[in-house]
Amino acid sequence: MNTKKSLIAALVIFLGLGMSSFKGDDRNFQIAKNLDLFNAIFKELDMFYVDTVDVEKMIQEGVQGMLSLTDPYTEYYPEEEVSSLKEMITGKYGGIGAAIRYYEAKDRIAVVEPTEGMPAAEAGVKAGDIILSVGGKEMVRGDMKPQEFSGKVSEALRGEPGTSFVLRVLRPLKNDSTVLEFKLTRKNIRTNPVPYYGLVRDSVGYIALTGFTDNCSKDFKKAFIELKQQGARSLIIDLRDNGGGSVGEAVDIINYFVPKGQEIVSMKGKLKQAQGSYKTQNEPIDTQIPLAVLVNGASASASEIVSGSLQDLDRAVIIGSRTYGKGLVQTTRNLPYNGTLKVTTSKYYIPSGRCIQAIDYAKKNADGSVARTPDSLTNVFHTIAGREVRDGGGIRPDIEIKEDKFPNIIFYLMNEDIIFDYATQYCWDHPTLASVDAFQLTDADYEDFKKLVKSRNFKYDRQSEKLLKTLKEMAEFEGYMEGASEEFKALEKKLNHNLDRDLDHFAKPIKEYISQEIITRYFYQRGAVMERLKDDKDLEKAVEVLGNSAEYTRILSVPAATSAAK
């Protein structure tokens, strides 16, 4: 009996050890099992499916399905797309320097913005030109989707610096169109991360930074030093719509305003190589100059490192609307056949110790959607001075200014190229403009625009009408329609589509978008920034705060009651 018990005990121990060992290898087993299944299923389909399968497309779809379970920043770049990844990181590519997009009216690709000082602009290519051929090859869409067509033309325009080709375009003119040819020589194109800087008031400097590409900190430094030489005694850094980029470049820019040796960013990931930190490495340029940083909902990643760190260090007043909330860091991994995987490897934490990531992609809903972290679940951290700041949900400005809503009608006016076409017409009648400051879209100009809109039989979705229709259907379904029919009729009358009314009601924002498009034709991105600053609530608030040293100091200090409580 004792022997039998001993054998059973030994067997239990053995099985326990075996199960424990199996559990330790379970993850590796699951990985191997599922890779084998994927491989087997594909082979069976390839061999037995009734039609021939598109090998590359099927595998690509499988890869994209796998990546969809991670986050939007983890992406696979096959060999033919690696150049676009490098361009995104460096801001450089070999080409002619012109933004293009599909132009539905001609079923062709149109030039929408040549880059100042680059081959296309220097040769005389203009926004509105319709691309007919590149290097003798006709650029026609065929059965390609518009996005694929744009990619094909973009690929044809790019190439090794020093190579030349003939670009043939159709240029729309006032009463006719003409075909033009330009001999262009490709060169290294670098997107200018500082399209404009200057004094917006007598002693208030302003720098617009559109991206954190390679060496952008040097461009920023040059602009900052020039502004100081011109008499700037305070500075506004505009990071609105800046989607981020290099962490190192962000730290270098912060370093111009804070002492050497300050830790700015720490990164925490699953693997040791995904962990680390960034400290300021150099002596600063100016640790005393008053700073204001402008941000909005499209300020992300490296923009949030700059604005958040300057906030945590009580070094700048942050003005605008809450930022995007991207607290994740990506690195690139080389793959077989010259592909690249951009993968999220860590989260970053700014000086107060907070991570500003707004969405936890590990907690997806059943339908695959994700939601921002609610404010009630965020945590309090403190700046160097002791001011309260919060994690999860982007950078909350010290002075919050509500963003203007984007009217639905503008989306459709832009999507149907009506604003684009009006700007082309405007340039026919105005071959030159004296300056950005002198330009103003007149009431007569806007009347001409309205005539163009009406001539196109323009229609657009009105969300209010859609929602009303849905509400009416639900009321009928639930039996409430009989008692509410008169109210519905009255509401339908008020919400009746009226183009004249909408063009007048939304005249101000529509004029602003038209003005941006027109000014860009003459003065490129530099002019576009200057035009935007003409009526800018965020800028005006920044100028006001920087001009009031007592208010500036108050904002960056702990309230007296809070300080006493500590």
Please provide the size of the chain in residues: 566
Q: Report which of 263, 304, 234 is spatially closest to residue 547, judged by C-alpha positions.
A: 234
Residue of 126, 152, 326, 342 marked active site: 326
Torsion angle of C-alpha atoms 400, 257, 217, 520, degrees rounded to 10 = 40
Alpha-carbon gap, residue 212 to 217, rounded angstroms = 8
In b/e form, how buried is each residue of 225-255, taking b as 16+ CB within 10 angstroms?
eebeeeebebbbbbbbebbbbbbebbbbbbb
Q: Is 301 a catalytic residue?
A: yes
In this structure, are residues 288 and 536 in contact, taking their beta carbons and an 8 Å threshold? Answer: no
Q: Report which of 323, 305, 359, 357 is spatially closest to residue 240, judged by C-alpha positions.
A: 323
DSSP structure class, residue 177: E
Dihedral sign of CA atoms 431, 436, 438, 444 in order: positive
Q: Could you tell me where the beta strands, DSSP code E, fall in 74-213?
A: 75-77, 92-95, 98-103, 108-114, 130-134, 137-138, 164-172, 177-185, 187-190, 196-199, 204-208
Contacts of 356 (CB under 8 A, 6+ apart): 304, 308, 323, 325, 326, 327, 350, 391, 392, 393, 394, 395
Residue of 71, 252, 312, 391 marked active site: 312
**3-class DSSP state for residue 260?**
coil
234-238/291-295 β-pairing: parallel
**3-class DSSP state for residue 281?**
coil
Q: Report which of 83, 164, 96 is spatially closest to residue 129, judged by C-alpha positions.
A: 96
Reported as half-sphere exposure (CB side, CA atoms, 13 A), residue 334 has a value of 3
In this structure, are residues 153 and 109 in contact, taking their beta carbons and an 8 Å threshold? Answer: yes
Q: Report which of 236, 217, 252 is spatially closest to residue 290, judged by C-alpha positions.
A: 236
Q: Is 326 a catalytic residue?
A: yes
Tokens 């002492």 found at:
259
Q: Could you tell me where the beta strands, DSSP code E, fall in 153-300?
A: 164-172, 177-185, 187-190, 196-199, 204-208, 234-238, 263-269, 276-279, 291-295
Reported as half-sphere exposure (CB side, CA atoms, 13 A), residue 512 has a value of 14
Residue of 234, 301, 346, 515 marked active site: 301
Active site (catalytic) residues: 301, 312, 326
